[in-house]
Structures are given as C-alpha cells and as structure tokens.
Amino acid sequence: MTQWQPIETAPRDGTHILLAWSYNNGAPTRVSECFWRNDMPFSGDGIWWCFHGRLFPDPTHWMPLPEAPQ
C-alpha cells in the first residue's frame, strides 16, 4: 500500500505511520510521522502522537512509512 488511505482504516496499535491533514486540491497541507497512543491522561479513547512538535486534531488520511534506505 503506497497510496493515502482514509483515516478510519489507520492502525491504532502503536505502529508508526504518516498522517496527513487538511487536504487542499488533493494535496496534503501537513504530513507527519505519528502513532496512536492509548496511555495519555485525559485523552479518552487515545490520541495521535506526532513528531512534528505540535498536535493537530482530526487527520484525514494515512499511509505506511516508506522503507528505510539501504
């Protein structure tokens, strides 16, 4: 799978993935490596924890991380 997928199908098992937000004419306006966390206080069912330094609500799409270079 190398295409963007609907966020509803994203893994919520701690797998690191790419998330995208706010599609504008078919292109993501923000992309970040993230994973689902169930262990955050006050997060209800869990949150997307991302590595870009800020949390943005409601991602719209996801895809697996690419393979690392060899």
Q: Return the domain boundaries, the chain.
A: 5-64
Cα(53)–Cα(33) distance, rounded to whole angstroms?
11
State the pLDDT at residue 1: 57
| Confidence (pTM) | 0.77
State the pLDDT at residue 55: 65
CA 58 to chain centre: 9
CA 8 to chain centre: 11
State the pLDDT at residue 34: 92
Nearest to 27 by CA among 50, 57, 4: 4
Q: What does pLDDT average to in each consecutive run of 10 residues of the chain (70 residues)?
A: 87 93 74 84 75 74 91
